[in-house]
A and B are shown apart, each in its own frame.
Chain A
Amino acid sequence: GAGVSQSPSNKVTEKGKDVELRCDPISGHTALYWYRQSLGQGLEFLIYFQGNSAPDKSGLPSDRFSAERTGGSVSTLTIQRTQQEDSAVYLCASSLGQGASEQYFGPGTRLTVT
Chain B
Amino acid sequence: DAKTTQPPSMDCAEGRAANLPCNHSTISGNEYVYWYRQIHSQGPQYIIHGLKNNETNEMASLIITEDRKSSTLILPHATLRDTAVYYCIVRARGEGQNFVFGPGTRLSVLP
Chain B residues near A (Cβ < 8 Å): 2, 32, 34, 42-46, 49, 87, 93-104
User: Is the CB–CB distance between A106 and B43 below 8 Å?
Assistant: yes
Tell me the A75-94 residues at the B interface (CB within 8 Å): 91, 93
B48 CB to nearest A CB, Å? 9
Q: A106-B43, A107-B43 are in contact. Are A45 and B100 (CB under 8 A)?
A: yes
What are 30 A-B pairs at a CB distance below 8 A? A4-B43, A31-B96, A33-B98, A42-B2, A42-B102, A42-B104, A43-B44, A43-B99, A43-B101, A45-B98, A45-B100, A48-B96, A56-B96, A56-B97, A56-B98, A59-B98, A91-B43, A91-B44, A98-B96, A99-B93, A99-B94, A101-B32, A101-B34, A101-B49, A104-B46, A105-B43, A105-B44, A105-B45, A108-B42, A108-B43
Across the interface, do A103 and B99 meet the contact criterion of CB distance under 8 Å? yes
